[in-house]
Structure 1
Amino acid sequence: MLDRIKASMPSLAPAEQRVAKLVLGDPRAFANLPVSELADRAHVSKPTVVRFCRSMGYDGLSDFKLKLAGSVSEGVPFIHRSVDPDDKTSDVMVKVIDNAVAAFLKYRNDASTFAIEKAVEVLAATYKTGRRIEFYGAGNSGIVAQDAQHKFFRLGVNTIAYSDGHMQVMGATLLGPGDCVVVVSNSGRTRDLMDACDIARRNGATTIVITATGSPLATAGHIHLAADHPEGYDRYSPMVSRLLHLLIIDILATTVALRIGGGRLQPLLREMKNNLRTKRYA
């Protein structure tokens, strides 16, 4: 329903377009507010609100609201809503949360389980042979690489993370057959990451790339895990792609842990937890 409204906007009259923007901006609020409040927020007359609903193919405002409420209840709409400087705190909270949840739900529907399965097989095989798994990322993605290293380190994996371009090139140079490198990048166009990925691949290491579809990095690795989400670079908004990358890392770490098996892993995690208790206040 929201996709249809968005696609119909160019054909609507200017006043009806303002109503459409109000719907897309906060569909839940639109479904619950009275017509007078909707008209005030859209800066249109009450008949214009009703006319917009009929333009969308519904009997009137009540019918439109009923269908909208049902559509929204099925899940967060897959649209990116940028925050604005004049947003209230409540607006910012809703937009940031909705953007993150929408990205997760879209990834759940779009993700290639075949690609994830291939990546898990490589990571698990690298662990079993005692070879190295390295995580590379630059800037914001460098933090994701560090988080990934922490998750796999806890599993007893021989791993390290680099966010410095020189260290990435040096680390990739030392890799060989049986090793694995996971490269994380939102843009997929960072020169240092591309160089490190190419070097690791030439040396025989398996390369897994977590990046946007269609980017140069997406075709540079052996296995591509697509992470596609629009970012409002011109707005004051957090990078949802960072959360999406962390989610993908969590999926990989969890699945690899299951492949390792509880018989080998559970005693290690239990001992680690017991040893860390001394670091906490009772």
Structure 2
Amino acid sequence: MFSYDQVQQLNRLEIEIYKYIVGHPAEVSTMTIRQLADHSHVSATTILRFLKHMGYDGYAEFKFTLKEQLRQDATQPLAQTVVPMRTFFDRMNLPDITAKLHRVAELVHQARMVVLIGSGTSAGLAAYGSHLFANFGLYSLMISDTSQPHPVQQQDLSDTVFFALSVSGESEDIIEQSVYYLEQLAMIIQPLT
């Protein structure tokens, strides 16, 4: 119901609404706008702004579309997995995305060390990434303690690639760690947008 590009444009409050809807679609399909506002801890006006960003004229149109989506998902459960995957692979086939991926691969290939950091869901992705890079013979580390203190001495990390993984992109600990690694001359890799 929501495209990747639409979700990328959301503010912090709208992300909360999005996460609640995605996590509880069946419940939301029967809620009033006030109930959704209470459950997602925002105002009804914020929900209406969110729906406008998503291309809906109002709450009634959104609920109708949500109910139709739930009905389709019940009859075609495989489509829930296939459609987002197809969208992802279609996006990855764009020339600008491909060029970015080649540049990142080149940076990783030239690096002496790869560091990945993440918390929550992103920690699992960071652990997997670190393991994957190690399988390719690269020296890689994963930081799961995002609040770990920085070393007192300056480090020359100009030959290090640092992957900052965050679902929201607003995790203060991840941002602080990224700033530290940037100050130490590491190459910072953020999600492709």
Q: Does 1:116 align with 2:116?
A: no
Shift of 1:144: 0.9
Q: Which residue of 1 aligns with 2:179?
A: 198
Q: Which amino acid aligns with 2:123?
A: G
Report the CA distance between 1:198 and its aligned residue. 1.1
CA deviations over 1:13-62 (Å, ceiling 9, x no partner)? x7x998755433233767xxxxxxxxxxxxxxxxxxxxxxxxxxxxxxxx
1:148 aligned onto 2:129: yes
Give the TM-score normalised by structure 1: 0.41
1:20 to 1:200, Cα distance in 2 relative to 1, 3 A: closer
Is the 2:73–2:79 contact (alpha carbons within 8 Å) kept by the matching residues of 1?
no
| Sequence identity (%) | 16
CA–CA distance in structure 2, aligned partners of residues 206 and 113 of structure 1: 19
In structure 2, C-alpha distance between the alignment counterparts of 1:17 and 1:166, rounded to whole Å: 40
Contact 1:176–1:205 (8 Å) recurs in 2: yes
Structure-to-structure mapping, 1:225-244, within 5 angstroms? 225-226=192-193
- Which is higher, the Rg of structure 1 or of structure 2? 1
Give the paired residue count: 136
Matches within 5 A, 1:32-47: none
Shift of 1:102: 3.1
Q: What's the TM-score, normalizing by structure 2?
A: 0.57
- In structure 2, runs of 5+ residues without a counterpart are 4-53
User: Which residue, 142, 147, 165 being the options, matches 1:184?
Assistant: 165
Which of 104, 107, 112 matches 2:88? 107
Q: Name the aligned partner's letter for residue 106 of structure 2.
A: E
The AA in structure 2 aligned to 1:27 is Q
Question: Which residue of structure 2 aligns with residue 68 of structure 1?
Answer: none
- The reply to whether residue 125 of structure 1 matches residue 106 of structure 2 is no
1:26 aligns with 2:71: yes
CA contact (8 A) 2:115 2:140 kept: yes
Distance in 2 between residues matched to 1:104 and 1:17, nearest whole Å: 23
Asked if the contact 1:9–1:20 (Cα under 8 Å) also holds between the matched residues in 2, the reply is no
Which residue identity is paired with 2:107?
Answer: V
Q: Say yes or no: does 1:159 pair with 2:144.
A: no
Call closer, same or farther: CA 1:21–1:151 in 2, change over 3 Å: closer
Q: State the distance in 1 between where 2:65 and 2:118 align.
A: 40
1:179-200 per-residue CA deviation (whole Å, 9 max, x = no partner) reads: 1111111000111110111111
> Do the aligned partners of residues 23 and 9 (structure 1) sit closer, same or farther apart at CA in structure 2, a change above 3 Å counting?
farther
Amino acid at match of 2:108: L
